Each structure stands twice: as C-alpha cells, then as structure tokens.
Amino acid sequence: MIILPEQERLIHGLKTGIACIIGYSFSLIANFQATQWLVVSIMVVMCAQMHVGSVLQKTYMRFIGTLVGSIIAAATLYFFPHEKHIYLIIITVCGIVFSYIATSESKFSETGTLGAVSATIILLSQQASITIAQQRFTEISLGLLIATLVSQFIFPSHARNQLIHLQAKAIMQFSQFYQMTIMKRKLPGIESYQALDEDIVKSLSTQRTLAKESKRELLGMKFSIVFFYKILRCEKEIFRIINFMRYAAEQLDQEIHHFFDEEKFKQFHDQVLYTFDIVHGVLELNHKTEYCLPPVDFGISPNIFLTIDDQHRLAIDAYFFAAKILNQQLNELLKLLKNRNTDGK
C-alpha cells in the first residue's frame, strides 16, 4: 500500500508524540532531576527526521556529540573544580573547534553543534559537577534510544519506499518533459518546461539523500546501493539526452520532423512514451516486463542533406545520435529493472 506524503507526515507526528509520552513517563519513573533533557532529545531527533534511516543517522551523530561534549565537561570539572575562568576558556575552545567541525562537509558535521551545546550547558549549570555530566549523558542517551526504537518498530517509515516512489515520479516527469520539449505539447498543470526541469533536478538530488538513508536501514526489504546508482545514472543520462535533443531541434528553422519520415518519427515518440509508462509501472506497482525498444529508424533520406547547409545537417545528425543514445539508456533501464525482479531485490 502506498502512503501519501501528507499521511506519512501525520503518522510521523503521532509517533513523535508517542515517543515523547514514553520518554516523559520513563523519566518520572526513574526520578530524573531534569526530565526535559530526555524529551528534548527525542524531539530534536524525530521532529525533522521522518525515515528510519535518517533517525538512525541523527541519533548516531547526536550520541557522539553528546558523548564528546560530556567527556570534555566532566574532565574540566574533575581537574578544575570551581574554576569559572577555566570553564570560560574551555567553552570558547569548544565553540571554535566544534564550529569548525559543524561547518565542514564531513558526515560528522552534526556532532559539532551537539558537542559544543553539551559541554556548554553542563559547565554553565548552577550545580556543575561530574554527577550532573553523567546524568545529562544518561538522559540524552535514553532519549536517543527511545526515538530510535519508536521510529523502527512503530509504523516505521522506510526511506527505501519513498525512494522507489520518487524514482517512479521522476520517470513520469521525464515523460512530461519529453512531451513538452521534444513533442511540443502543452500539458495541464505545468507552467513551463523550465519549472519541470527544476523539479527533476531537485528529485535527482533528493534520491541521493534517500539512498544514503536507505543504506542505514538494516531491517526490512533488502536495499542495494549499487543497483540504485545504476538506476540513477540512467536517469541522469536520459535527462541530459532529452535536453540535448531539444537543443539540436532548436537549431533548425522548422519542425525537425519535416526532415524525417513522419510516421516513423511519430512511432519513435510513441515508443519512448510507452517505455516511460512501463518503467513507471515496474517501479511504482512492481510490474514485470520483457519489453525492449526496437532500434531507432527515422527513415532519413540521403537526399535531404543535399538541400540543407552544414549547420542544419549537423543539427539533424546530433538529434538522430541523441535519439539512439536515449533508446540505449531506456533499454538499459528496462534491463536493470528486469534483473532486479529476477534477483528479487
């Protein structure tokens, strides 16, 4: 069953509320002095992270940051008890070092902010002590554990499912983009092909993010990152080729189909759109297919090149070459999806 994004967000909101109730109840039973730390940790992890993989990543980074910050604070309190000026120096150094980490491109960048915050709050607390540092670390760690367990086992939202849905949506966007740019059709609900172009670029970027999250999801359906990158490569090539075909067609003074056999030209377009529909069905509905695109044949007459200049001849050659590459990439995509079904991935 496919869950719509609005439904998924609502379910995730309910899960976050459930996790907070569990965390608060546990803190009361355990008689923690500061119950807010546990609940705040749950909210920080779950509020902006919907999928199991992203929650796991957020939890992992927050745990490392909290651990490092707590160790720094505990060591400072142990070696320099009641030395407020030393606390200020440590906090300043933490701000410099952790800010540098937080603004980097490293996968550990999120630990920077959390490390600095943990060390600062512990050292600036009214009753700063090693015991307080231990309590804060314990409370935050329990909050992270609760968030992880709720995300994983209560109506889990897997990034891999959203990724497949997004890939299927991207294929239909390719179909729309092809119709608007190559077939010169106006489609309802789409202002321009430029707007659709931007949506496709965002989709390809989001797919990479979801793939990273899917890789971290250990339970559930098997996910192959290698297979995903092969699919993504085909998507990117298809998108490039459609744009190249559009550019080649724009170099001609008249509609490009006038240079080819119109029936074969139309047949090629129909085959491309049909392939997009098939790929969408395989991805979204898990259909199986043995379909393969036939070789490209526009019925080009050699006499055409005797009546046009070099620039137009080059544009026609480029368009025909791009059409063959598009044909190859669509067949490669069909082959990948066929093998996925065969392998049970």
Per-residue pLDDT of the chain (345 residues; tens, 9 = 90+): 456 667 888 898 999 999 999 999 988 888 887 678 889 889 988 887 888 888 888 888 888 999 999 999 999 999 998 888 999 999 999 999 989 888 887 777 878 888 888 899 889 887 788 888 888 888 888 999 999 999 988 888 888 888 988 999 999 999 999 999 998 888 988 888 899 999 999 999 999 989 988 888 877 667 888 889 999 999 999 999 999 999 988 887 666 667 777 788 889 999 999 999 999 999 888 888 888 888 888 776 666 665 677 777 888 889 889 999 999 999 999 999 888 755 444
Is pTM, for the whole model, over 0.85?
no
The last residue of a domain, from among 105, 124, 153:
153
* 118, 135, 153 - which closes a domain: 153
Q: How many Å is the maximal CA-CA distance in the chain?
A: 93
Q: Do 211 and 103 belong to one domain?
A: no
DSSP secondary structure string for all residues of 14-37: HHHHHHHHHHHHHHHHTT-S-THH
Pair (217, 248) in one structural domain = yes
- The answer on 169 and 135 residing in a single domain is no
User: Containing domain of residue 98, as a range?
Assistant: 5-153
How many structural domains does the chain have? 2
Same domain for 76 and 168, yes or no, is no
Task: Please check whether residues 109 and 132 belong to one and the same domain.
Answer: yes
Determine contact, residues 304/316, Cβ cutoff 8 Å: yes
Other CB atoms within 10 A of residue 69 CB: 29
Reported as type and span, the H/E element at residue 227 is helix 225-250
Which of 153, 177, 211 finishes a domain? 153
Q: Are residues 106 and 192 in the same domain?
A: no
Containing H/E element for 86? helix 84-102
Is residue 194 domain-shared with residue 321, that is, in the same domain?
yes
